[in-house]
Chains A and B, each alone.
Chain A
Amino acid sequence: MPDERHVIETPRSAIISPGYTFETVTDKIASVVLTQKRPPVFWLACFGVGFTLLMLLLLAMVLLFAKGVGLWGIRTPVMWGFAITNFVWWIGIGHAGTLISAILLLLNQRWRNSINRFAEAMTLFAVACAGMFPILHLGRPWLAYWLFPYPNTMGVQPQFRSPLVWDVFAVSTYGTVSLLFWYVGLMPDLATLRDRAGNRFGKYIYGILSMGWRGSARHWSIYETATLLLAGLATPLVLSVHTVVSFDFTIAILPGWHSTFFPPYFVAGAIYSGFAMVLALAIPLRAVYGMQGLITARHLDNCGKVMLATGLIVAYAYIMETFTAWYSSNVYESAAIWHRMAGPYAVSYWSLLTCNIVAPQFLWFKRVRSSPVLLFISSIVVLIGMWLERYVIIVSSLAQDFLTSSWGEFHATRWDWATFIGTIGMFMFLFFLFIRLLPMISIFEVRTLLPQAKIEEEEVRG
Chain B
Amino acid sequence: MSVNKPIYGVMAEFDNPTSLVTAARTAREQGYRKLDAYTPFPIEELSDALHLHKNILPFLVLCGGICGGLTGFLLQYYITVFNFPINIAGRPLNSWPAYIIITFELTILFASITSVLGLMALCGFPMPYHPTFNVSRFSSASRDRFFLCIEASDPLYDHEKVSAFLGTFEPTEVSDVAH
Question: Which A positions have Cβ atoms within 8 angstroms of B?
Answer: 21-23, 26, 149, 155-157, 159-161, 163, 165-166, 169-170, 173, 176-177, 180-181, 183-184, 188, 191-192, 194-196, 208, 211-226, 229-230, 233-234, 236-237, 240, 244, 247, 444-445, 447-448, 452-453, 455-457, 459-460
Contact = CB atoms under 8 A, between A and B. Distances in A.
A225 B55 contact: yes
Given A156-B84, A459-B22, A222 B125 contact: no
Contacts of B55: 221-222, 225
Contacts of A225: 55, 57-58
A217 B101 contact: no
A222 B123 contact: yes
A192 B145 CA distance: 12
A26 B163 CA distance: 30
B26 to A, nearest CB: 10
B8 interface: no
A160 B99 contact: yes
A387 B2 CA distance: 70
Interface string B118-142: 1110110111111011000011111
A456 B43 CA distance: 12
Contacts of B46: 217, 220
Interface residues of B, number: 68
B40 A160 contact: no
A217 B45 CA distance: 10
Contacts of A195: 139-143
Given A195-B139, A211-B125, A233-B112, A217 B104 contact: no
Contacts of B40: 22, 26, 188, 192, 215, 444, 447
A448 B122 CA distance: 24
Given A211-B120, A217-B37, A217-B46, 15 more contacts: A160-B102, A173-B109, A176-B109, A177-B108, A188-B142, A196-B143, A212-B126, A212-B130, A213-B142, A218-B50, A220-B47, A222-B57, A226-B116, A229-B115, A457-B45
A237 B119 contact: no
B112 to A, nearest CB: 5
B143 A192 contact: yes
25 contacts: A23-B144, A157-B83, A173-B106, A196-B142, A211-B120, A212-B127, A212-B130, A214-B138, A215-B40, A216-B36, A217-B24, A223-B42, A223-B119, A224-B42, A226-B118, A226-B119, A233-B111, A233-B112, A233-B115, A234-B108, A240-B101, A240-B108, A445-B41, A448-B42, A460-B45
